Structure 1
Amino acid sequence: MTEPDVEGLQRRLAEFAAARAWQPYHTPKNLAAALSVEAAELLEIFQWLTPEEAARVMDEPDSAHRVADEVADVLAYLLQFCGVLGVDPLRALSEKIDRNEIRFPVGRPPGRARHPDRHSSE
């Protein structure tokens, strides 16, 4: 079995949706809403856990399975969203990291981002 790649997974998701005639429902708005719901379901697993319990969530098979399923749901909707809008998610992430490296230089105190649209004496 070969390792999955982003394009292959996007193709499989599109084929899955097409086989069920779901494309009319896979609008950017609907996919963004579904992504938000699935992210909330992931958060729900951790909602009342202490930081220590949350760090051990993958030690318990049942909770590990729930986390993995919700991660898969979040990723599935994100990849479908990107596919519909033509966003390359890996390129978008790489470019965002590049911008954040400029906004948050090493050694700057936390919470002190450089805002390119604001004038400052820095």
Structure 2
Amino acid sequence: MDYEEISKALIKFRDERHWQKYHTLPALARAMSIEAAEVNEHFLWKDSQPDKELFKNTEDIESLKMEIADTLTYAYYMCEKLGVDPNDIVYEKLQINKKTALEILKLVRKYDYERGCSTSNKRSSV
């Protein structure tokens, strides 16, 4: 399904239950935050484990997927309220991040040059 189909299905689900009045931006933001915390809960006390070893059984993977879906659902509801396409705003933010990362790299290289250091020996590229 593409975003438009998913968005329509979510809105229909919400409207059939008459939940529109509860879906304010602050309420959706809080709900998204709670769901994101539930995603994080899957990784509690597992910092030293490699990613490949974190989820060895399908039940754990499915549980994590459902928490990610819950988080995305609230993000989609917020996008609908704001009248924006999430793919568009993610792409827009990616372009900003690319520009920012490049500017930071230039500053680091300038700083290292002024100190007489070579960035090629000290840092990997961004």
The two structures have a TM-score, normalised by structure 1, of 0.79
Task: Indicate the residue corresponding to 1:7 in structure 2.
Answer: 4
Offset at residue 37 of structure 1 (A) = 0.4
Task: Indicate the residue corresponding to 2:100 in structure 1.
Answer: 103
Deviations 1:27-70 (A, max 9, x none): 11111110000000000110111342544334311210110110
The answer (yes or no) to whether the contact 2:39–2:68 under 8 Å persists in 1 is yes
Aligned residue pairs: how many?
Answer: 108
2:39 counterpart of 1:42: yes
Alignment of 1:1-122 (within 5 A): 4-52=1-49, 54-105=51-102, 108=105
Offset at residue 106 of structure 1 (A) = 8.4
* Counterparts of 2:8 and 2:60, CA distance in 1: 29
The answer (yes or no) to whether the contact 1:57–1:64 under 8 Å persists in 2 is no
The two structures have a TM-score, normalised by structure 2, of 0.77
The structure whose residues are more often helix, as a share, is 2
* Counterparts of 2:74 and 2:11, CA distance in 1: 11
Deviations 1:68-102 (A, max 9, x none): 11011011111011001112211111111111111
* Counterparts of 1:55 and 1:18, CA distance in 2: 40
* Counterparts of 2:88 and 2:10, CA distance in 1: 20
Letter of the structure 2 residue corresponding to residue 40 of structure 1: A
Give 5+ residue unaligned stretches, structure 1: 113-122
Letter of the structure 2 residue corresponding to residue 88 of structure 1: D
Give % identity: 33
The answer (yes or no) to whether the contact 1:41–1:70 under 8 Å persists in 2 is yes
